Structure 1
């Protein structure tokens, strides 16, 4: 098993970059594209965009465990190839969409194919030792972060030539990832480690009904509450920055870039060494603590400059989910890695389904009811995020207490 980056791992990380870059490419042009179907109304376009986000998250929620289970049955490589081919065709369809319903179908397909990252993690779990698994998951998380940093910037530039251009480029990127997988990625799951598909495995509600064998249910709960809190940034950060700090679109874009870069650095550089030194669960506890402090600071922070300066500290919480996934992966047999990764991806999608409308409606309600953007009212979503992070931290401490025996991914499971 490799303990450092080899060619296959680099290709897998490149797939993660291209996959998330494709998603990021279309973000800046969606308002203009949707407004074109709504008589030029940005307000109506925003409403449609909210429905599209829900459709995307719902499909990701449903298909994450399905792709994970399919990869446990038929291998990682064919599922990766199929998902990337679907993504390429999907972006091309949306680029040429003559009607709004075609965009909805396209976003449904995007949600289904975006579950590819769960298969990517299962691939790396097959090829890495338990001690190095968290480090490799961090590489994928960092690669995905790079894609999210680069994608919106390039998408904004391409958007000057029309709102459909980024979709063609996203389709091409998925095609490049498909070719790279065909040429350089070999199957990682031996025939002897494969298992049949059952309804229980592919049911998207399975994480809530029954845990993956060998993994503490508390770890799933910690992951879910942390994800609920973390989605506050993509949900309201742009609106919050504009309302409280008077940021324009350029400054908001820069702030997202800072967040993305910090996510990449913490996941690719910091996570591996720190996890080996103090253990995955202690890393998760540290990340949750810093995240709670950051959320509470943003509730009342009045300086936009200090908000930008403190973003690197806030971003350390990005390693929480990966540390939990790494800890869980060390507790699961090889033939269940796909199911495990699909379960976490499904939980993340469910969290986005709940968190996006919850955070945006809380923000809008506080301001529309007379709350000032310069008081805690505009920061109410971050106050809620701090509470959700507190629940995650409490669960982690009380049910799966971090300790030195968890170093290197060797779990000390207190609750099963």
Structure 2
């Protein structure tokens, strides 16, 4: 078979997936809208509720912290009630807590309800990844590209919708998430069949034990560090771009589209040409340089806006590369590997938003971006120095 025929076969497999895969794909898009939907309204929430940027950043921190910690129980839940009902339970939590956040009257109420939202998010995203990988045709790599595409589409459309709803009221995006997740709930309830439960029940300690594998621990630590930079951009950049809700929505739409496109098209090509490890190192260096540029030219709204959009190119590529590696790096169940990795990386996602805004309040707006760049550069060092623990991933992919 020629390379062209192989490519066409792979593309056909990408499109001709079982209906259940597309249902999960659509629900994942809606789920990840919730992340970007909040971005355009961060300054508005700070103004309306008389909160400091570091207090508003806790909307990300509580969400990511609970998401990360709850990853330890996702396997326990899904192995007992099944993938379908774990997904539906996660969505129900999101519906309830996003609506409660929209009904809040103080910043600390929203922070608390975002934590509950994070619990629902953890049940959904870890299970959705393992479900798509398990049910999709074309192998693990193709399934992960589908999953990352859904994330990218959700993150890109979310800010646009958030900007439109947020221009009406800062409460709008929270209610919007709740309504969209009702749609996702009904789609999964009606269209997704019961998936056979695992024969072996998972333990809460399984993800922790999985981290004994150096490769998985190394990738988790890498994600921990670069997520500090990732959420520095997400949670602090809106405060220095000096745009209204509409403007922020369009900027993060551009960022999300770059993330979605590169996660699907650039990552596989780079992986095939250079291998996973070299490609990850390249993307992390480029992202670190982008954050550094934002730190140097923080006072230029135009440069910050361009850098935010360009950062999506590197983040989308790296997300697919590292998620693919996680699924292959350790001899454990995919759901366990995903939970272990996500537990570590979401802790970084909890630290990043608060740290960035606190540094800005203590020093100046340049410091968060420069610090974030330092953490991302450290992530690259972790990958490069741990090459021997993860190089077998490239052998699996045939590079």
- Range of TM-score over shorter length: 0.7 to 0.9
Q: How does 1:3-402 map to 2 (within 5 A)?
A: 3-5=13-15, 6=17, 7-28=19-40, 42-44=49-51, 46=53, 48-96=55-103, 103-115=110-122, 116-128=124-136, 132-188=139-195, 190-191=196-197, 193-201=198-206, 206=208, 211=211, 215-242=215-242, 250-301=246-297, 304-311=301-308, 313-318=310-315, 319-333=317-331, 336-367=333-364, 378-400=365-387
- Contact 1:94–1:102 (Cα < 8 Å) also in 2: yes
User: d(CA) in 1 for partners of 2:126 and 2:321?
Assistant: 15
- 2: distance between equivalents of 1:382 and 1:11? 38
Task: State the Cα deviation string for residues 304-354 of structure 1 (Å, max 9, x = none).
Answer: 445544555433331223312211212345x72112112222222200222
Q: How far is 1:62 from its partner? A: 1.8
- 8 Å CA contact 1:331, 1:411 repeated in 2: no
Query: What root-mean-square deviation, in Å, do the aligned CA atoms of Structure 1 and Structure 2 show?
Result: 3.4
Unaligned runs of 5+ in 2: 1-9
Gaps of 5+ in 1: 368-377
Change (3 A) 1:161 1:127: same
**How many Å separate the matches in 2 of 1:311 and 1:52?**
20
Equivalent residues, number? 384
Distance 2:41 2:307 in 1: 29
Q: Which is further off, 67-76 or 92-101?
A: 92-101
8 Å CA contact retained: 2:36, 2:252: no
Structure 1 length-normalised TM = 0.79
Partners of 1:135 and 1:272 within 8 A in 2:
no
In structure 2, the CA distance between the partners of 1:267 and 1:379, relative to structure 1 (3 Å rule), is same
User: CA 1:210 to 1:269, structure 2 compared with 1: closer, same or farther past 3 Å?
Assistant: closer
The SS at the match of 1:120 is: helix
**3-state secondary structure, aligned to 2:201:** coil
